[in-house]
């Protein structure tokens, strides 16, 4: 049988008139009947009326979410509905390419999940703005090389949670309401299979504007999720008149409920003597009902105030109660029982609200305790530096001040330039300069530009970024020990025979000249001049520029400098000391350059055989 069959209906659109029977049915088409095509592979499960209602819901959501995003990002943001359509889940997911955001949303009390999809451009715009970017249009190139990192995911979840609350407001017309909540965030469509691929869905596609950046946001509702509330998506449900009258079933239940009835009369102010003489079974004479006033109470609530009663005992009171209630109903006033039922409902609602508020406060306190427990665990496992819970009054990223720059830069190199700019904007200038120099050269200009154009960032973003950074950096520091390096090679070669040292350096000069030069620079430094004998120092002074000698002494420790001056030739000692005292401040780069020139002279003299460098152990 073909996947497409013919069915008859009274709808006039896209139909074909035929006179024959349908699928062998004995019933013929009614007068004016039509036949339409039905595709079993892609069945339409949502009527046009239901799709129109979904568009109204989407428009409500976009209005609320636009306000939420604009307030959270401090930037004009706009969402507008472009299309509401139905298709299979695979048809929607298959074309998605690149790293985008797929937020899986639970819709309690409905069974199932929806998806909020933000494309790559919208995701980048949200993340960039959260971390302080002004979103100034620049050269069109991807801002993030890979997927969403932990730092970016934490901020995305916060923004998505706020938008999902607006989604619940848009569905507030459903009886009992829906409580959407963020269940998970995925960046790959293949990891977001919430329904079978051939399951029908309805999509509400919206255009997203975050400042000058344009993106797309789509909400995906599977049919299995909406099936229990499909009846609420009809015009009859939306526009039917719901008066304020009490539901007949509720009225009947309230009338059947057992409820104490009381008739209260104002007895005036009895004298003290009468009150003192009261005993069990005593009788107090009440005033005439025609002169006083009486109140009818049902279930403890006063429902009527009447006058003109006649005495007659219990039967008269009961008769009055019945007549009073009938009189109230006859006058068109509210049914006393209904009033009492309404008061009971209001009381129960107040109790429910109080319990909900108390539970919310308890949950907030539990979250605070959990955060304190995590900080304590971090202190125990990683030490004090990882306890990044921002102290009141502490500067942003103050807890990361003692972290070595190398692992810090290694971690930042995997983040987008805007995140690097945020960190460099709040750490000290010295650490920021070191981090910038250790970042990839291609990223350094972009990070610098973003530091210069950094915009407002919320304290919550700073605190969360500091906490995640501290935890990751502490794990990197404790994950192993530093091994190898040029310093280690220099130490090994210093204790090796001269022939071994010469052979290694010569081989490295041919294979890796840059590494060989670095090793040679560290094999003998200017501070090592103190290991030379007096004759060797005098030979160096004869060939070296006296000014280089004075500048190179600047970084030396005081005791080392004093010992070196004492070993200089007598004819130069006073002159060098006077030149050093008159030197003043000097750049460290100039000191290093002067020291390196003197070291080159020492190496040349050693190769000529005029001096000898005696290392420890030789």
429: domain CATH number is 1.10.220.30
Question: Mean per-residue pLDDT for 171-194?
Answer: 87
Within 8 A by CB and 6+ apart from 616, the residues are 494, 495
Question: Mean per-residue pLDDT for 101-111?
Answer: 91
Identify the band that residue 117 occupies on the pLDDT scale cut at 50, 70 and 90.
Answer: very high
Q: Which of 458, 478, 498 is the last residue of a domain?
A: 478
- 78 and 221 housed in the same domain: yes
Identify the band that residue 217 occupies on the pLDDT scale cut at 50, 70 and 90.
Answer: very high
Instruction: Note whether 186 and 35 are within 8 A (CB).
Output: no
- 517 and 581 housed in the same domain: yes
Instruction: Note whether 35 and 16 are within 8 A (CB).
Output: yes
What's the length of the chain?
A: 618
- 8 and 32 housed in the same domain: yes
d(CA 437, CA 434): 5
Q: Which residue has the tokens 């304020």?
A: 244
Using the predicted structure, report yes or no on whether residue 325 has a pLDDT greater than 60: no
For residue 179, being part of any structural domain is answered with yes
How far are the Cα atoms of 292, 428, 435, 445, 472 from residue 439, in angstroms, in the given order?
93, 16, 6, 10, 18
Residue 591's pLDDT is 84
Specify burial of residue 248 (Cβ count, 10 A radius: 0-12, 13-18, 19+): exposed
Residue 139's pLDDT is 38
Identify the band that residue 596 occupies on the pLDDT scale cut at 50, 70 and 90.
Answer: confident
- 224 and 128 housed in the same domain: yes
Query: Is 543 or 139 the better-scoring residue by pLDDT?
Result: 543
- 538 and 433 housed in the same domain: no
Cis status of the peptide bond prior to 180, with omega within 30 of 0: no
Identify the band that residue 230 occupies on the pLDDT scale cut at 50, 70 and 90.
Answer: confident
Using the predicted structure, report yes or no on whether residue 281 has a pLDDT greater than 60: yes
CA triplet 117, 121, 124: central angle to 5 degrees? Answer: 95
- Is the alpha carbon torsion for 409, 410, 411, 416 positive or negative? positive
Identify the band that residue 331 occupies on the pLDDT scale cut at 50, 70 and 90.
Answer: very low
Q: Which residue has the tokens 């070669």?
A: 493
- 463 and 522 housed in the same domain: no
Query: Is 456 or 449 the better-scoring residue by pLDDT?
Result: 449
For residue 267, being part of any structural domain is answered with no
What mean pLDDT, rounded, does the chain reach? 75
- 106 and 198 housed in the same domain: yes
For residue 445, being part of any structural domain is answered with yes
Q: What is the CATH number of the domain that holds 111?
A: 3.40.1550.10
Q: Residue 194 CB: number of other CB atoms within 10 A?
A: 22
Using the predicted structure, report yes or no on whether residue 69 has a pLDDT greater than 80: yes
Instruction: Note whether 601 and 540 are within 8 A (CB).
Output: yes
- 220 and 100 housed in the same domain: yes
pLDDT digit string (tens) for 143-177? 344 567 888 888 889 899 989 999 989 998 888 88
Residue 473's pLDDT is 77
Which helix (H) or strand (E) is 302 found in, with range? Answer: strand 301-307
For residue 146, being part of any structural domain is answered with yes
Hey, what long-range contacts does 184-188 have (CB within 8 A, 24 or more apart)?
Answer: 184/103, 184/104, 185/101, 185/102, 185/103, 185/104, 185/153, 185/156, 185/157, 185/160, 186/102, 186/104, 187/99, 187/100, 187/101, 187/102, 187/147, 187/148, 188/99, 188/102
Using the predicted structure, report yes or no on whether residue 380 has a pLDDT greater than 50: no
pTM over 0.75: no
Question: Mean per-residue pLDDT for 380-403?
Answer: 56
Domain limits for position 59: 48-236
- 126 and 25 housed in the same domain: no
Using the predicted structure, report yes or no on whether residue 24 has a pLDDT greater than 70: no
Instruction: Tell me how many domains the chain contains.
Output: 4
Helices 120-130, 150-170: inter-axial angle, 10-degree rounding:
110
Of all residues in the chain, the percent with pLDDT exceeding 70 is 69
Q: Which of 275, 304, 289, 237 is nearest to 53 (CA)?
A: 237
- Is the alpha carbon torsion for 600, 603, 604, 605 positive or negative? positive
Q: Which of 215, 236, 257 is the last residue of a domain?
A: 236
- 23 and 80 housed in the same domain: no
Q: Which of 8, 188, 27, 15 is nearest to 93 (CA)?
A: 188
Hey, what long-range contacts does 546-550 have (CB within 8 A, 24 or more apart)?
Answer: 546/572, 546/575, 546/576, 546/579, 547/579, 547/594, 548/594, 548/595, 548/597, 548/598, 549/576, 549/594, 549/598, 550/576, 550/579, 550/580, 550/583
- 516 and 398 housed in the same domain: no
Which helix (H) or strand (E) is 263 found in, with range? Answer: strand 261-265
For residue 94, being part of any structural domain is answered with yes
Listed range (100-114, 172-186, 562-576) with the worst mean pLDDT: 562-576
Q: Which of 444, 478, 512 is the last residue of a domain?
A: 478
d(CA 490, CA 565): 27
- 406 and 497 housed in the same domain: no
| Edge-first strand listing for the sheet containing 301-307 | 261-265, 293-298, 301-307
d(CA 421, CA 419): 5
Instruction: Note whether 114 and 107 are within 8 A (CB).
Output: yes
For residue 107, being part of any structural domain is answered with yes
d(CA 236, CA 17): 30
Alpha-helical segments (H) within 383-458: 405-412, 417-426, 429-438, 444-452
Residue 118: strand, helix, or coil: strand
Q: Which of 335, 311, 334 is nearest to 263 (CA)?
A: 311
For residue 289, being part of any structural domain is answered with no
For residue 303, being part of any structural domain is answered with no
């Amino acid at each position: 049988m073909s996947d497409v069959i013919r069915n008859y209906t009274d709808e006039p659109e896209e139909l074909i008139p035929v006179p024959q029977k349908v699928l062998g049915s004995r019933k013929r088409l009614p007068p004016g009947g039509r036949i339409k095509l039905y595709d079993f592979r892609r069945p339409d499960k949502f009527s046009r009326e239901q799709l129109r209602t979904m568009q109204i819901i989407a428009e409500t959501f976009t209005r609320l979410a636009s306000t939420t995003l604009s307030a959270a990002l401090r930037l004009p943001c706009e969402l507008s509905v472009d299309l509401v359509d139905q298709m299979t889940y695979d048809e929607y997911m298959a074309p998605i390419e690149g790293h985008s955001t797929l937020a899986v949303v639970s819709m309690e009390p409905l069974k199932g999940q929806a998806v909020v999809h933000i494309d790559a451009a919208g995701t980048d715009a949200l993340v960039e703005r959260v971390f302080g970017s002004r979103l100034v249009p620049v050269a069109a190139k991807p801002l993030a090389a890979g997927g969403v990192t932990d730092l970016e995911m934490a901020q995305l979840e916060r923004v998505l949670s706020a938008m999902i609350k607006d989604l619940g407001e848009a569905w507030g017309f459903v009886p009992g309401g829906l409580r959407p909540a963020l269940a998970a965030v995925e960046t790959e469509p293949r990891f977001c299979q919430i329904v079978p691929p051939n399951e029908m869905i309805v999509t509400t596609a919206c255009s997203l504007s975050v400042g000058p950046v344009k993106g797309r946001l789509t909400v995906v509702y599977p049919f299995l999720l909406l099936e229990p509330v499909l009846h609420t998506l009809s015009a009859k449900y939306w526009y039917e008149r719901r008066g304020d009258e009490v539901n007949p079933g509720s009225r009947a239940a309230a009338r059947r409920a057992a409820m104490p009835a009381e008739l209260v009369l104002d007895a005036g102010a009895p004298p003290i003597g009468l009150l003192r003489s009261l005993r069990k079974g005593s009788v107090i004479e009440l005033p005439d009902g025609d002169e006083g006033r009486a109140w009818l109470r049902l279930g403890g609530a006063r429902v009527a105030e009447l006058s003109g009663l006649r005495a007659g005992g219990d039967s008269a009171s009961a008769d009055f109660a019945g007549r009073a209630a009938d009189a109230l109903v006859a006058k068109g006033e509210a049914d006393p029982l209904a009033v009492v039922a309404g008061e009971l409902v209001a009381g129960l609602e107040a109790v429910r609200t109080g319990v909900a508020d108390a539970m919310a406060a308890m949950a907030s306190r539990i979250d605070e305790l959990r955060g304190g427990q995590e900080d304590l665990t971090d202190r125990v496992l990683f030490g004090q530096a990882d306890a990044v819970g921002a102290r009141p009054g502490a500067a942003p990223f103050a807890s990361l001040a003692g972290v070595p720059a190398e692992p810090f830069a290694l971690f930042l190199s995997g983040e987008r330039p805007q995140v690097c700019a945020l960190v460099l904007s709040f750490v000290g200038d010295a650490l920021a300069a070191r981090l910038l120099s250790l970042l990839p050269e291609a990223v350094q200009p972009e990070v610098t530009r973003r530091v210069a154009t950094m915009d407002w960032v919320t304290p919550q973003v700073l605190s969360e970024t500091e906490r995640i950074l501290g935890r990751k950096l502490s794990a990197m520091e404790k994950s192993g020990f530093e091994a190898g390096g040029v310093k280690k090679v220099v130490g090994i070669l210093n204790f090796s025979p001269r022939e071994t040292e010469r052979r290694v350096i010569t081989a490295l000069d041919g294979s890796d000249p840059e590494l060989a030069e670095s090793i040679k620079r560290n094999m003998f430094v200017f501070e090592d001049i103190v290991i030379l004998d007096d004759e060797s120092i005098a030979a160096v002074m004869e060939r070296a520029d006296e000014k280089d000698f004075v500048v190179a002494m600047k970084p030396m420790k005081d005791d080392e400098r004093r010992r070196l001056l004492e070993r200089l030739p007598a004819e130069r000692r006073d002159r060098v000391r006077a030149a050093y005292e008159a030197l003043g401040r000097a750049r460290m780069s100039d000191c290093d350059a002067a020291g390196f020139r003197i070291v080159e002279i020492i190496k040349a003299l050693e190769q000529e055989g005029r001096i000898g460098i005696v290392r420890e152990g030789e």
